[in-house]
């Protein structure tokens, strides 16, 4: 179990490893809505949109490698929504079930007040029970249930919107 680890702002040099973790989740049908692997070139604008003082992208280093990453992104991209952020967590397959996601989410929740974040949202496929359980363990509630909004591997999937006031 991960009880500690180095959590730091991601650098551009980390982007390939971040994407390796992300791309490994494509195709399992319950973690991401992307259907083909993404490249560093495609994700560079996403990376650069993260700002350490308000919308961070952090990596968790354990045993000399990136075990997981977490990011805050703007919700809906309009000024009135600035106090609200979407949180995303991705854990390397090797580190799943070892507390990496829990460790990162706890750190992010602790940082939210200084980041100016008052509301966190998570968008999670209903079949992703591990993520739903993780978010619920930190007090996230179901704020929405979008039925059959994503097609992955020829099947329709529901999207849960989880939320928490900080």
The residue extents of the domains of the chain are 6-121
Contacts (Cβ under 8 Å, ≥6 apart) of 30: 125, 127, 128, 157
What is the percent of the chain with per-residue pLDDT over 90, rounded to a whole number? 87
CATH homologous superfamily of 6-121:
Gcn5-related N-acetyltransferase (GNAT) (3.40.630.30)
Residue 102 and residue 134: Cα distance in Å, rounded? 7
Structure tokens at 54: 């308000």
- Any bridge partners for residue 164, and if so which? 120
- Kind plus residue range of the DSSP H or E element containing 89: strand 84-91
Tell me the pLDDT of the chain averaged across its residues: 94
pLDDT, position 118: 99
């Amino acid at each position: 179990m991960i009880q500690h680890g180095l959590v730091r702002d991601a650098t551009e040099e980390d982007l390939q490893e971040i994407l390796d973790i992300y791309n490994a989740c494509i195709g399992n049908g319950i973690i991401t809505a992307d259907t083909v692997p993404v490249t560093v070139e495609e994700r560079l604008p996403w990376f650069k949109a993260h700002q350490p003082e308000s919308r961070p992208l952090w990596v968790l280093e354990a045993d000399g490698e990136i075990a997981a990453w977490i990011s805050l992104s703007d919700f809906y991209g309009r000024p009135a929504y600035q106090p609200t952020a979407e949180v995303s967590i991705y854990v390397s397959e090797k580190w799943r079930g070892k507390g990496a996601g829990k460790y990162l989410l706890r750190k992010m929740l602790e940082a939210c007040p200084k980041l100016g974040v008052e509301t966190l949202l998570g968008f999670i496929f209903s079949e992703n029970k591990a993520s739903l359980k993780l978010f619920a363990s930190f007090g996230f509630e179901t704020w929405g249930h979008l039925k059959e909004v994503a097609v992955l591997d020829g099947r329709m999937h529901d999207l849960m919107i989880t939320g928490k006031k900080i």
